[in-house]
Structure 1
Amino acid sequence: MIKSFELEKFGPISLLKADNLGKINLIIAENSKGKTFILKALYSVLKSHEEAHKGKNIRDFSEELRDKLYWTFQVEEIGDLVTRGKENPNERPLKLSMTLEDSSSVLFSFGRTTKKLIKPELYELSPRINANSIFLPPKEVLSLFDVIKKSEEEKRFGFDATYIDLVKALDIKPTKGRNYPEAAEARKDLEALFGGYVSYNDKKKAWVYEKDRQTFSINSTAEGVKKIGILDTLLGNRFLSPGSILFIDEPEANLHPKAINQFLEILFSLSKSKLGIQIFMSTHSYFVIKKLCLLARKHSESIPVFMPGKEKEQATWVQENLQNSMPDNEIIGESIRLFREEIGVLSPETAWIG
């Protein structure tokens, strides 16, 4: 579990200091403000650390990190990730630090002239041999499964490393024996959302959707079903295990409000279970923010929320907590504005309410 992190001069993020992180952590902002950038930055560091310690031979973390940043953000040079200052492009370097629950840490920095080599100033993260992190993008990957795999083989830009890693995780065959009880329960709830499940058909060599004893092509299956099916599969093949960290970019994508509500309840239960899965989500959906706020207050659970500062300080992010209240943010503000507009249309004499 990540306990704290700090980003400085990382792409659109001027400064973000996050501490006292919870089992669920939410990042909210308008488009192009850096929500996904934050998720990918954290994922890249954590995944590089995990991959450096997987297998018999321990690989160099610096090389893993360089490659992961390169293929995740798909920049020409690593230095392109550094925020460019208006007056002095080389004024300050990019910095990222992360501390895990056991207080083990990593810290690295680099400037705009950096091309390949990243030397961590501190690298003392404890091994995560039996825990996996994974990134779920807004777009599903099942219908493009073979295309994504081929793009990795050919080492070309198109699908970034988060898609490649997800395809590899989904490619793991389910193992025999009893699954974790919490994972089995979550799978029942996920499959109940749409009354079926997705699986890989070895005979057809393709992903399919099975419902009511009928088999449907994954290409003719609704996007929302495929989205839910991906999480169901990761629980079924036990890729998501105790201590895993899940990064979800726009959990609301391709889901109707009722499904969003149920999906978030399942994620909340997973985070609270003995599996101890930590979740980072980014969103610009009022439904997601409101539902998580209700869950936090109902269960007295801390859910940190991060968002850009106001006006000139937008590149510097602030931290609040959904357990206390809904955040003062443009997403919430627009919902309130629409409510006032509705009141004004229905009853002009009460349009001042708010």
Structure 2
Amino acid sequence: MLKALKVSNFTVFGSDVEFMFSPGLNVIVGENGAGKTHVLKLGYLFSRAWPDLTAQRLAVNKERAQAYLAERLADLFQVSDLSALIRRNAKGGAVLQAQVDGHIPTVQIRMADEPEFTSPGLPEAMPWKVQIQRKDQAGLLKATVLPDEVPDAAARNAFLPQQVLVPSKEMVSLFKGLIGLFDKYRDFPLDISYRDLAVAMSTLEPRDRPPLMSDVAQRMQSLLGGDLKLEKGELVFERADGSQMDISLMAEGYRKLAMLIYLLRYGVVERGSTLFWDEPEANLNPAALKLLAEALYALGSAGVQVVVATHSLFLLREFEILQMKSAQGPVNQVPNKYFGLGRQKKDGPVSVTQSTDIADIEPLVLLDESLQQSDRYMEANP
């Protein structure tokens, strides 16, 4: 689970911009170019770092972390020189810090009438601190990554479930052959998160029904009229009557809903996972977006950390409605956090405001523009 992220002079951000994340639902808003996707990618980077570095059961040290982080930063942000990630006109380099909690495997016992545990084990802190230093003055050396802090040996028994980043471009129609294309071509036009997601989706369906397949997921299945399935390395959409439909014939927004159901049914997203999603609202009609909001909220209550970046006022309102309803009813309220990214002056660095109440977030451009549109409508139609 991602607990905290602190960035200094990275891309558009100023000094000591800190994010304190909720274990449940986290929503990032801001105008275009404010760095929402960058926050998702950094959170994803550090959430994946430990399981990637320990996959071969090798000790994690600063030398291995340096090579890994330099490569991943370049691949996630699609830069050939890491100095491009340092904020323009900033003195010195960029500094990235993250606090990630892993899990120590623990025997968990509960009564039959008690709710499921939301954490797969005892938390274990995994701190990261990284500098990105500029080229030398002669311009002979590329920017370098210098890890100042990596998780120590005490975390060697900790594990992190699958961490998933769903990028803004719809993924289902791109799935076929995507991994091979990434591996064949050096300058592939998509960042590495697309390959990561394709690899994560290339798995066998578990025999038992995953516990995260909630009522909301079943309602989404009913809306779609079928399911995504993996057959011979290809994604196919199977209707309820057993017939198949070509993926290219599905509406793009429905492909996104189908992918979320797939991630849950195949166990890619599980309890303890962090699901990062960039603009989940794209190409979804309000009825489908309402279902998606319910699904993401339900995941937050079931032990999945959800971090989304959005431009949708409708999606924000749906999250607020769900939060208010859960405060009144039998469903547990999901811990939440809202983050607003913005600049105090036009070309200045981006800073963040954060709160558990969306009303405290400034600037909230999507709300401001919605109100101004209402005013323009009233003026145009007296």
Q: Give me the TM-score of the superposition, normalised by structure 2.
A: 0.81
Which of 117, 120, 132 lines up with 1:110 in the alignment? 132
Alignment partner, residue 171 of structure 1: 202
Which of 357, 363, 368 lines up with 1:323 in the alignment? 357
Distance in 1 (CA, whole Å) between partners of 2:304 and 2:200 is 16
Q: CA deviation at 1:190?
A: 3.1
- The answer to whether the 8 Å contact 1:53/1:129 transfers is no
Deviation by residue 1:163-210 (Cα, 9 ceiling, x = unmatched)? 00000011111122x2332335454233123222111233xx532212
Distance in 1 (CA, whole Å) between partners of 2:57 and 2:317 is 45
SS at match of 1:110: strand
Number of residue pairs the alignment of both structures matches: 338
Tell me whether 1:72 sits opposite 2:102 in the alignment. Answer: no
Deviation by residue 1:72-104 (Cα, 9 ceiling, x = unmatched)? 11101122211121xxx5x13211111134443
Q: CA deviation at 1:302?
A: 4.0
Q: CA deviation at 1:326?
A: 6.6
Which of 344, 348, 368 lines up with 1:311 in the alignment? 344
Alignment partner, residue 28 of structure 1: 29
Alignment partner, residue 339 of structure 1: 374
Tell me whether 1:280 sits opposite 2:307 in the alignment. Answer: yes
Distance in 2 (CA, whole Å) between partners of 1:147 and 1:206 is 8
**Alpha-carbon spacing, 1:22–1:340, altered in 2? closer, same or farther (3 Å):** farther
Distance in 2 (CA, whole Å) between partners of 1:223 and 1:265 is 19
Question: Where in structure 2 are the equivalents of 1:14-53 lying within 5 Å?
Answer: 14-15=14-15, 16-19=17-20, 21-53=22-54
Q: CA deviation at 1:117?
A: 4.7
Alignment partner, residue 110 of structure 2: none
**Alpha-carbon spacing, 1:265–1:289, altered in 2? closer, same or farther (3 Å):** same
Distance in 2 (CA, whole Å) between partners of 1:323 and 1:30 is 19
Alignment partner, residue 350 of structure 1: none
Q: Quote the sequence identity (%).
A: 24
Q: Which runs of 4 or more aligned residues in structure 1 lie more than 6 Å from their structure 2 counterparts after TM superposition? A: none
Tell me whether 1:240 sits opposite 2:269 in the alignment. Answer: yes
Alignment partner, residue 222 of structure 1: 251
RMSD: 2.3
Tell me whether 1:141 sits opposite 2:177 in the alignment. Answer: no
Question: Where in structure 2 are the equivalents of 1:147-226 lying within 5 Å?
Answer: 147-157=177-187, 158-176=189-207, 178-183=208-213, 185=215, 187-202=217-232, 206-213=234-241, 214-226=243-255
Distance in 2 (CA, whole Å) between partners of 1:58 and 1:231 is 34
Distance in 1 (CA, whole Å) between partners of 2:32 and 2:182 is 28
Q: Give me the TM-score of the superposition, normalised by structure 1.
A: 0.87
Moved more, 184-193 or 135-144: 184-193
Q: CA deviation at 1:51?
A: 0.7
Alignment partner, residue 298 of structure 1: 325
Distance in 1 (CA, whole Å) between partners of 2:160 and 2:300 is 17
- The answer to whether the 8 Å contact 2:216/2:294 transfers is no
- Which structure 2 segments of 5+ residues have no match? 102-123, 136-140, 328-333
Amino acid at match of 1:334: E
Amino acid at match of 2:349: A
Deviation by residue 1:269-310 (Cα, 9 ceiling, x = unmatched)? 11101xx11011101111122222222333354422222245
Amino acid at match of 2:370: S
Which of 290, 298, 303 lines up with 1:269 in the alignment? 298
Distance in 1 (CA, whole Å) between partners of 2:53 and 2:4 is 21
- The answer to whether the 8 Å contact 2:210/2:265 transfers is no
**Alpha-carbon spacing, 1:220–1:14, altered in 2? closer, same or farther (3 Å):** same
